[in-house]
Structure 1
């Protein structure tokens, strides 16, 4: 019962999209489908009338007037549905395309309103993958169901009326013959759904393995490391296992269908016997016998088709439910109702007070990633955060950007808790470049300009940003498309993409600029140029730099050394070297390696 209610609510919600998109076209399609469902029975009644007229003419009881009239009606009963069917097909195609656009825009709107922490969560990624694998077609199929329902209901009601007019027992026989159809399709649908749903992980593995042959970087490894046979065997094994499960479900379907057919034949023979007896007794005419047979078989076919569509709709509803679960997610990090509106033409004072943090874990409590962090960033300071992998550097930045909120303690901006500030205002004041930066397949002008997309492109600022990042060395045309799959497009190296990403930060010109390993893929000469630009062109702005390269942080006003989520040392490069602690050891180790390399 609960499953039926959920499926019903999902179907209604899906249909609401149809109503909101184009209600006039929706109502027109419903009317046309009702017409289609009913008019087919005109063929049976007109043909039975023709047979009766022929018999009457041979008996000398009638002329050809009635025969001609019934023949014309029979011809129209074939012509009109064909015309209406073409019209319905066109409008359904048009309506489906409109729905597809609306659904995609709705999904984008919902996804765009989520916070980064929610997007990073395992539950969201699982829902997203499921929605992507099942596709939006499930939602569109739910909307199509109303049209097939209109056609089927019209056909069922019309056929019941005809059978009742001939003999009420025919209605009973037809209903009993059709009764098991729903349970058969429901059981089969659920079994197939379970097979597919429980095989999601297998399909993910298959998709991942196939991607090694389709994505350039992975394909190179496949060739060089001779991975083809190994990957092919994994793909084959997963697919064979899945196909075996589907084969078992199909075998059960075939056996059940055979039993169902015998049940139907039992009542069909009963109906034929009843109508033949009445025809021999003269209760009905020969044409009536034909009408009864055609209507009876058509009734079963209509019910069978409609129940099958219900079964598929239930399956589609289960898939579509994953889409709606995705839509129902709400951001966890939001602005308070009375959040303070702020702007930062100049950098604010930033203070971490006893900040601890653990990542949200849906299966239990995760360990602390940051522990009791307390430090201050004065307006316009250049701060470097260093430490080995896993020390908590990037997590600290995520808290400052309010991607997450601290588990304990607080972050204060000019003395106000960050959670009390308007989220959009605060994030507008920040420019951040993560180590895993996105690559935009746009023109070079657009790729830099997205750093401050709300503003009109400023060519002088664009060129200046490219010069500061060293990207001007390879840019020959700012309208050049990036991506060789575009006509006239080009591919850039990872280092060139990183220069464009740094250029975006210069173009953004934020009060607070945060860079996480901004030169990881950049050569030493360009790296020196970028850091020189940072020093000379960010005067009066706060710059926070995360890096593994200790040689790049010597000029920072303050250096924070993190280890296991704690600040173990902080101060200027000179102060920390004089301290002769962990920072000095790491710096000396790297410097020694560079010298040995030289």
Structure 2
């Protein structure tokens, strides 16, 4: 992972991003900023010329035409910056919007290329949360600093040139007066950043506690459990702790600025004395005296403002660096250069050969989650993977999906090592429904259709028939009244669905996908027993010929599986058909009978 810590390096990356967005517009905006930085001194010079010309006219050797010319120049020096400023603001807005869109698309593109294992990692999640503290604005703010720097540099160079032409010592005094500004601002900026950086956890706690009042499900608990006062006290304590740290930093800033003001005042008096002496000795005219004073004070204000902007830019760069670090991330799981291309039109033979796995961790090795796993899934078999929580069921499926690669051992598909098969080809062969399935805020038709988005070019009648059949198989047709119904209650006409209804739509997506290998991780956890039975009957009838891998806690749903794998602590402890395992009369039989007994007892209670 690249580490962008230097503000200059981050700024260059940000500027390059802006350059790639719209070069012509960037150059035009830059020229506008340079003009705005220099033109203000035209006001000073023209006004000083007007003063000198008035004095000359009173002395009898001035020219009225020159006075009129300088007055017109003075008027234009006020008018032109206003016009250019308005035009610049307009194009800056357009440019910022273009960059915002491109940045969002680029971010999505980069994140879309990462593998699931990388996205799941704690290092990625921590980096993402850190980048999101300022959002995309941190990158765009650095580009604003670049444009504003053009204005400030043009202003600084112009003012130094004017002061140098009047008296070289004025430049020395101006530079010495402004010298401490950077160090004061840098110290303050670093201190505030440290406070914010080390208070990230406090901010997350605050936002989490506030969310209990804003999110419906949490708000219900807050009311029923009377948590208002307890949560309010936590929010107040964390906010006061954070605010006290900021107040302390602001106090130091105020003291530092007072010292800095005295330093500036010292050199201002020296400059005034020098300018007054020059005016009395005839070294500069009265207008020149006004020009020198205006330029000198303007120079300090420009330096002061610019250094302050550097402080903000440094802070923005620290957050923007997180985005560039994210953009530089490379997926851990990729296809080999000469990966085997396979179009999986038929279910493949899948073999796990002595597979062991531990989750990757930057801080050291983690314990093995799976150990010495070996089994075979024949084409078209229905296989159930069962076991208590934490036994390694979902991890095994992640390895099969190649979200991760085995730490030891290999997985073979049709005799080829899974690592040697092109990743996209293998992913296209899979239909996966994990326990934590996503909810799509789309129409019902679209929510099912995303199961195989590449089929959008299919003839409408064929697609419609397939959609409705998928809904029927999953039991979703029981509540679907209109396939164009929007599932998003926050919008007019939108509706909300229960968790069980959402799960039935998720199962419908898998039926619609009709993959060579369908993997279902607890697909009926939120579904009633009647619909569950319907779904599993449909699975057996309508996915004939396809390989189906089912992960479940409910042993009653796996009776008809061709093979059942019982996992415990990451190891296979029993493997066979339901009949074989019941005859074995070991752990599977005990767990099955225990669940069956509970089910019968609940049925008896309902019958009374």
TM-score (norm 1): 0.98
Question: Which of these residues, 513, 517, 530, is aligned with residue 512 of structure 1?
Answer: 517
Measure, in 1, the Cα distance between the counterparts of 2:274 and 2:53: 23
> In the alignment, is the contact (CA less than 8 A) between 2:185 and 2:311 conserved in 1?
yes
Measure, in 2, the Cα distance between the counterparts of 1:337 and 1:489: 47
Deviations 1:451-490 (A, max 9, x none): 0011116111100000000001111111111010122110
Q: What residue in structure 1 maps to residue 402 of structure 2?
A: 402
Q: How far 1:318 sits from its partner (Å)?
A: 1.0
After TM superposition, the structure 1 = structure 2 runs for residues 18-37 of structure 1, keeping only pairs within 5 Å, are: 18-37=18-37
Q: What residue in structure 1 maps to residue 233 of structure 2?
A: 233
Q: How far 1:287 sits from its partner (Å)?
A: 0.8
Q: In the alignment, does 2:163 pair up with 1:158?
A: no
Q: How far 1:53 sits from its partner (Å)?
A: 1.5
Q: What residue in structure 2 maps to residue 311 of structure 1?
A: 311
Q: In the alignment, does 2:57 pair up with 1:57?
A: yes
Deviations 1:189-248 (A, max 9, x none): 111111111111111111111111222211111111111111111111111111111111
Q: In the alignment, does 2:4 pair up with 1:39?
A: no
Measure, in 2, the Cα distance between the counterparts of 1:282 and 1:408: 90
Q: How far 1:64 sits from its partner (Å)?
A: 2.1
Distance change in 2, residues 1:211/1:4 (3 Å)? closer
> In the alignment, is the contact (CA less than 8 A) between 2:381 and 2:547 conserved in 1?
yes
Distance change in 2, residues 1:223/1:338 (3 Å)? same
Distance change in 2, residues 1:4/1:470 (3 Å)? closer
> In the alignment, is the contact (CA less than 8 A) between 2:25 and 2:95 conserved in 1?
yes
Question: Which runs of structure 1 show a deviation greater than 4 angstroms over 4 or more consecutive aligned residues?
Answer: none
Q: Which moved more, 1:543-552 or 1:53-62?
A: 53-62
Measure, in 1, the Cα distance between the counterparts of 2:414 and 2:349: 5
The DSSP-based 3-state class of the residue aligned with 1:455 is helix
Measure, in 2, the Cα distance between the counterparts of 1:364 and 1:4: 24
Q: In the alignment, does 2:435 pair up with 1:435?
A: yes
Q: In the alignment, does 2:490 pair up with 1:485?
A: yes
Q: What residue in structure 2 maps to residue 568 of structure 1?
A: 573
Specify every segment of 5 or more residues in structure 1 that has no aligned partner in the other structure, as ranges. none
Measure, in 1, the Cα distance between the counterparts of 2:517 and 2:21: 43
Q: What residue in structure 2 maps to residue 498 of structure 1?
A: 503
Deviations 1:6-37 (A, max 9, x none): 21111101111110010000000111111111
Q: What residue in structure 1 maps to residue 6 of structure 2?
A: 6
Deviations 1:423-459 (A, max 9, x none): 1100110001000000000111110011001111611
Distance change in 2, residues 1:440/1:516 (3 Å)? same
Q: In the alignment, does 2:279 pair up with 1:279?
A: yes
The DSSP-based 3-state class of the residue aligned with 1:222 is helix
Measure, in 1, the Cα distance between the counterparts of 2:393 and 2:355: 13
Q: What residue in structure 2 maps to residue 586 of structure 1?
A: 591
Measure, in 1, the Cα distance between the counterparts of 2:214 and 2:421: 45
Question: Which of these residues, 512, 518, 526, is aligned with residue 521 of structure 1?
Answer: 526
Q: Which moved more, 1:57-66 or 1:312-321?
A: 57-66
What is the total number of aligned residue pairs between the two structures?
Answer: 597
Specify every segment of 5 or more residues in structure 2 that has no aligned partner in the other structure, as ranges. 604-608
Measure, in 2, the Cα distance between the counterparts of 1:583 and 1:248: 64
Q: What residue in structure 2 maps to residue 121 of structure 1?
A: 121
Deviations 1:334-359 (A, max 9, x none): 11111100111110111111011111
Q: How far 1:88 sits from its partner (Å)?
A: 0.7
Measure, in 2, the Cα distance between the counterparts of 1:226 and 1:125: 33
Measure, in 2, the Cα distance between the counterparts of 1:567 and 1:379: 21
